[in-house]
A and B are shown apart, each in its own frame.
Chain A
């Protein structure tokens, strides 16, 4: 059986591709990259990862310029075929701008960039989040991670089990104090796609994926996707 293949898409200004590529390969993926001016993904791509950073300097609005890049059509088609798409941080912002995930990410309530470890709890099961109520510790590093959506959208996301991750404290309790950016309903990650095959999240699981980095909780998310793809292929 050929190994699952992950393609990391590079937009100018993204800067978190190193840790994304490493974490994907530690989880078992064969990895490759695509450039923003490409119009097709590399053959046999199973998972597209859009890493964090500042695509096009985040000028205009985070992700707003990336969404008109040539590669986006290919990412969209991949998602529509049921292919996995993962957007982390700026990647999440880009996926919401592209409409692959509902809602929007706005400036943190405290108006500052913030980099620190937080806790998230699995709020809906899916290919990347296999077990409900699991609590993971992972870092955030963003200025614009406050998730917002209309009440109707929020109700639909809740009803369809698309709220993948919520911020919580170490014990798993979802509190205002544990919400680092003022996100509605403490939302940290959201599923898109017909079969929850698209995931966007603000925390960086790829920066908490080795003991040397302070923990391995983030690796679980990649391992789950890898296992899911393996089962699907079998």
Chain B
């Protein structure tokens, strides 16, 4: 075809202005024309703009993402599908992914966060897996920013509103407040499901002539260009740089916000589970970002096939929709199915049982082309619809939309630290450790997350063995096959501290992977896979691009060292705002969530002290010289992220994690808790006051021998150096713990004994701490009072 399809009534003419509105550069437009041998139509331009958007094409990150380790003996499916799949034995697999919903959540926190949860749930259950647990990772601006309380309340309620209703337990998460997120919050949601390995479904449009079916909610105009919006900054002096859609939202013409419907999501979930069991599907994919377009294009791309779709047949709820709008709508709760030939009726019958719309809208071809038809003037919602006589509105090579999308090697330049070079004299010194401890445990970043976790149903389905609030959550999963039930135990954690990544992109990213895996081994689980969500600012800025590339190197190095593959993930760029105050990028935040397998339920370990007389050990260095850089103490004392860049020794980390897991599996641990934000004293405090029932809290008497130098001493008490774990063991097991640590080459210091209702810390040649567990618990519980 040397001319584009004839304009559809209502189409806009292609103009430089239209290209700008679609975020398609002149160079990209030239590429499109070259790929097609003709200019695109209006509808086709819209399709290219979403498929080549950062959100769908990963054009800035793809080159670098190739460096991530994605393979391993247990990996069944790595990145590129709807979710990653890892073998958990006996014919079952864990299916998981994390995704961001950052931009919409800042615009409207409840309705922004809720579809984020819905979207990631669908990505997982579309692969044949019943979702069994969710996590989330949230970043908000500084606690005293005027919008922060409202955003926290809305996002938390939105996550709960969706997850609670659909009945998937939200078993944990993490939250950090920092001024860098004042105008760009982060909402990253993770879901894990479990599938039979012989019933894993892929997003592939395979089998010439197979019918393509649309299932779920009707299509409306909501969310058009959501994917493109997610690839854009907020603000900008030049209003023309904003999308036409963004302007039309302001004018009230339409919304780029998708609205989730968890009840419909639940019906979809149950109907899909039934479809999977009925063996009627060839392929299936969620209509997520870029809706019908990306789902059908990607399914054809993965199968190396083509598709033909008739838009007249798409169920819709808005009148007079243009092909452009139907194709780009991001209405939620929709799936695209490819049925086995002749099984359409079975699919439709199951959908009917669940009161879901379902319609055959096309078929699989072998042309390698994505062909879309529609009848001008036809509207099924009209009183007397015009006769159908569909014409071609798009005819594009699938490859041009997927594999041949642009890949940019964007220029890089090392970051100039916002904080400037660290000066030793800036190091904070703790002269009253008890006061500092109470301040830190009660601070928004370090205190209890229970106000948030309580708004999530974390126990629905009756499988939550370790509830949110320990190093990792543990869920017992019934795995059913041939009438028999096997129990599998999976553990979940999510982590990242953007402050470390800001100061040292590669080391900070390594630390995120190390910590998330450390959280798993502290819970008795072997890490089996990771999913990531790379949240960064504008990649067209060389310093941001450098952070992104280095962070990927860090993730890769840590995953290789710990032998844990990254099996799925998501990239969210342009998380920055330019306003009167200047450019405001977020902290680089490569969030990682990890799944672990607990091989025997008796291996499960929780973080809080258990019994009087148990011996407390620190595994790892007690007084590392570094650790204040990027620490909470530094930020609180100096008002900004700063200090010496943090580092991690991956060899030491590997040894430590092997030791902790072997101790847990030998049932030698009464408790295990990794040292993270707030350092040693905060971790000790958390061990005394975080049991699920306050009546079970146990204090401890601890003696610390530390360097005399005030900075080194402060570093030992509140520094956040990685590769350290606090464990407790029954007195009769203490020698075995110390012995095994020696054998495995991990430093092990006996700190004291569990007992009583107080945390008493004697610091040789210095101040002492004596505070009741109840006081620590109360301080932690008040940390989010500014929100509630």
A213 at the interface (CB under 8 A from B): yes
A201 smallest CB distance to B (angstroms):
16
Residue interface mask A139-156, B partner, CB < 8 A = 1: 101010000000000000
Please tell me if A19 contacts chain B, counting CB pairs below 8 Å.
yes
Decide if A115 touches B263 in the complex (CB within 8 Å).
no
Task: Indicate whether A57 reaches chain B with its CB closer than 8 angstroms.
Answer: yes
CA distance in complex: A20, B459 (Å) = 13
Interface string of A12-26 (1 = CB under 8 A from B): 111110110011000
Q: How far is the CB of A22 from chain B (nearest CB, A)?
A: 6
Which of the residues B354, B455, B463, B467 comes within 8 Å of A114, measured between beta carbons? Answer: B455
Q: Which of A135-171 contact B (CB under 8 A)?
A: 137, 139, 141, 143, 170
Cβ–Cβ contact B465 & A15, under 8 A: no
Contacts of A204 in B (CB 8 A): 459
Q: Which of B257-280 contact A (CB under 8 A)?
A: 261-264, 266-267, 270
- Could you tell me the distance in whole angstroms from the C-beta of B662 to the nearest C-beta in chain A? 23
Q: B476 is contacted by which of A114, A117, A170, A212 (Cβ under 8 Å)?
A: A212
- Nearest CB in chain B to that of A55: its residue: B263
Query: Are A116 and B354 in touch, CB under 8 angstroms?
Result: no
Flag if B461 contacts A112 (CB, 8 Å): no
A214 to chain B, nearest CB (A): 7
Query: Could you tell me if B166 and A206 are in contact, using CB atoms closer than 8 angstroms?
Result: no
Q: A170-B695, A206-B462, A214-B692 are in contact. Are A115 and B266 (CB under 8 A)?
A: no
Asked if residues B164 and A113 are in contact (CB atoms below 8 Å), the reply is yes
Chain A, Cβ-Cβ closest to B601: A212
Cβ A57 vs Cβ B462 within 8 A: no
Are A113 and B455 CB-contacts (below 8 A) given A12-B266, A57-B165?
Answer: yes
What is the CA–CA distance of A16 and B167 in the complex, to the nearest angstrom? 7
Cβ B462 vs Cβ A56 within 8 A:
no
- Within 8 Å CB of B693, what residues of A? 117, 137
Tell me the bound Cα distance from A12 to B164 in angstroms: 15
Say whether B263 contacts A19, CB under 8 Å.
Answer: no
Cα–Cα distance between A207 and B454 once the two chains are bound (Å): 15
Determine whether A87 belongs to the interface, using a CB cutoff of 8 Å to chain B. Answer: no
Q: How far is the CA of A112 from the CA of B454 in the complex (A)?
A: 9
Q: Does A58 contact B (CB under 8 A)?
A: yes
Q: Which of B164, B262, B355, B692 contacts A117 (CB 8 A)?
A: B692
Residues of A within 8 A of B478 (CB): 18
Decide if B369 is an interface residue (CB 8 Å cutoff).
Answer: no
State in angstroms the CA–CA spacing of A207 and B262 once bound together.
22
Do B462 and A207 have beta carbons less than 8 Å apart?
Answer: yes
Given contacts A13-B266, A54-B263, A141-B459, contact A115 B464 (CB under 8 A): no
Name A1-41 residues within 8 Å CB distance of B.
Answer: 12-16, 18-19, 22-23
Q: Nearest CB to that of A116 among chain B residues? A: B454
A189 near B: Cβ within 8 Å?
Answer: no
Interface size class of A (residues with CB under 8 A): 20 to 34
How many residue pairs bridge A and B at CB < 8 Å? 97
B460 near A15: Cβ-Cβ < 8 Å: yes
Report which of A19, A112, A114, A117 forms a contact with B462, defined as CB distance below 8 A: A19
CA distance A58 to B167 in the complex (A): 13
B263 touches A59 (CB 8 A): yes
**Nearest-Cβ distance from residue A188 to partner chain B, whole angstroms:** 17
In this assembly, does A53 line the interface, its C-beta being within 8 Å of a C-beta of chain B?
A: yes
Docked CA distance A14–B460 (Å): 11
Complex interface: chain A residues within 8 A of B462 (CB): 16, 18-19, 22-23, 206-207, 209, 213
- Judge whether B461 and A113 touch: CB under 8 Å: no
Q: Across the interface, which residues of A come within 8 angstroms of B454, CB to CB?
A: 112, 114-116
- Secondary structure at the A interface, as helix, strand, loop or mixed, is mixed
Inter-chain contacts of A56 with B (CB < 8 A): 263
Residues of A within 8 A of B459 (CB): 115, 139, 141, 204, 207, 213
Q: Are B461 and A18 in contact (CB under 8 A)?
A: yes
Interface centre among A15, A54, A116, A214, by most chain B C-beta atoms within 10 angstroms, is A15
- B residues 428-479 with Cβ under 8 Å of A? 450, 453-465, 467, 476, 478
Contact indicator B266/A15 (Cβ below 8 Å): yes
Give the contacting residue for A54; candidates B266, B354, B453; CB below 8 A.
Answer: B266
Q: Which residues of B contact A113 (CB under 8 A)?
A: 157, 160-161, 164, 455-457
Smallest CB separation, A16 vs chain B (Å): 6
Per-position binary interface string of chain B over residues 156-174, scored 1 when its CB falls under 8 Å from any chain A CB and 0 otherwise: 0100110011110000000
A88-127 vs B, CB cutoff 8 Å, 1 = contact: the mask equals: 0000000000000000000000001111110000000000
* A111 to B170 Cα, complex, angstroms: 20
Residues in B whose Cβ lies below 8 Å from that of A12: 263, 266-267, 270, 354-355
Of chain B, the residue at the smallest CB distance from A206 is B462
Contact between chains at A115 and B461 (CB < 8 Å): no
With A56-B263, A57-B262, A206-B462 as contacts: A115 and B455 at CB distance below 8 Å: yes
CB distance from A136 to the nearest CB of B (A): 14
**Given that A170-B695, A212-B476 are known contacts, is A54 also in contact with B460, CB under 8 Å in the complex?**
no
Instruction: For residue B149, give the distance in angstroms from its CB to the closest CB of chain A.
Output: 14
CA distance A121 to B491 in the complex (A): 34
Among residues of B, the one whose C-beta sits closest to the C-beta of A112 is: B455
> Could you tell me the distance in whole angstroms from the C-beta of A58 to the nearest C-beta in chain B?
7
Give the CA-CA distance A137 to B695 in the complex, in Å. 13
**Contact between chains at A15 and B166 (CB < 8 Å):** yes
Chain B residues numbered 502-540 whose CB sits less than 8 Å from any CB in chain A = none
- Contact, CB under 8 Å: B464 / A213: yes
> B464 — which chain A residues lie within 8 A by C-beta?
213
A141 lies within 8 A of B164 (CB) = yes
A42 to B263, CA, bound (A): 27
Closest to A141 in B: B457
Quick check: B262 and A141 within 8 Å, CB to CB?
A: no
Smallest CB gap from B474: residue in A: A212
Interface 1/0s, chain B 102-139, versus A by CB < 8 A? 00000000000000000000000000000000000000
Alpha-carbon gap, A139 to B450, bound state (A)? 14
With contact pairs A18-B462, A141-B164 given, residues A57 and B261 touching in the complex (Cβ less than 8 Å): yes
Q: Which residue of B lies closest to A10 (CB)?
A: B270
- Residue of A with least CB distance to B459: A207
Q: Flag if B461 contacts A16 (CB, 8 Å).
A: yes
The answer for the CA separation of A116 and B456 in the assembled complex, in Å, is: 9
Select the residue from B161, B454, B465 with max chain A CB neighbours within 10 A.
B454
- Give bound CA distance, A121 to B465, whole Å: 25
Q: Is the CB of A141 within 8 A of B266?
A: no
B179-204 CB mask vs A (1 if < 8 Å, else 0) is: 00000000000000000000000000
Tell me the complex Cα distance, A212–B464, Å. 9
How far apart sit A116 and B574, CA to CA, in the bound complex (Å)? 38
A137 to chain B minimum Cβ distance, whole angstroms, is 8
- Supposing A117-B693, A212-B465 touch, asked if A54 and B165 sit within 8 A by C-beta, the answer is yes
Residue of B nearest to A212 (CB): B465
B206 to chain A, nearest CB (A): 32
In the bound assembly, the distance between CA atoms of A57 and B460 in angstroms comes to: 16
List chain A residues, Cβ under 8 A from B263: 12-13, 54, 56-59
B269 → chain A closest CB, angstroms: 10
* Chain A positions 59 through 96: 1 when the CB is less than 8 Å from some CB of chain B, otherwise 0: 10000000000000000000000000000000000000
For the complex formed, measure the closest distance between the CB of A117 and the CB atoms of chain B, giving whole angstroms: 7
Find chain A residues with CB under 8 A from B456 CB: 113, 115
* Residues in B lying within 8 Å of A, measured CB to CB: 157, 160-161, 164-167, 261-264, 266-267, 270, 354-355, 450, 453-465, 467, 476, 478, 601, 692-693, 695
Could you list 16 examples of A-B contacts with CB < 8 Å? A12-B263, A16-B460, A18-B462, A52-B460, A54-B165, A59-B263, A112-B455, A113-B457, A115-B453, A115-B455, A115-B457, A116-B450, A139-B459, A143-B164, A206-B462, A207-B460
Further 8 A-B residue pairs, CB within 8 A, beyond A16-B462, A57-B266: A15-B165, A15-B266, A15-B460, A112-B454, A114-B455, A141-B164, A170-B695, A209-B462
- Listed from nearest, the 5 A-B pairs whose CB atoms lie closest are A15-B167, A57-B263, A19-B462, A54-B165, A141-B457
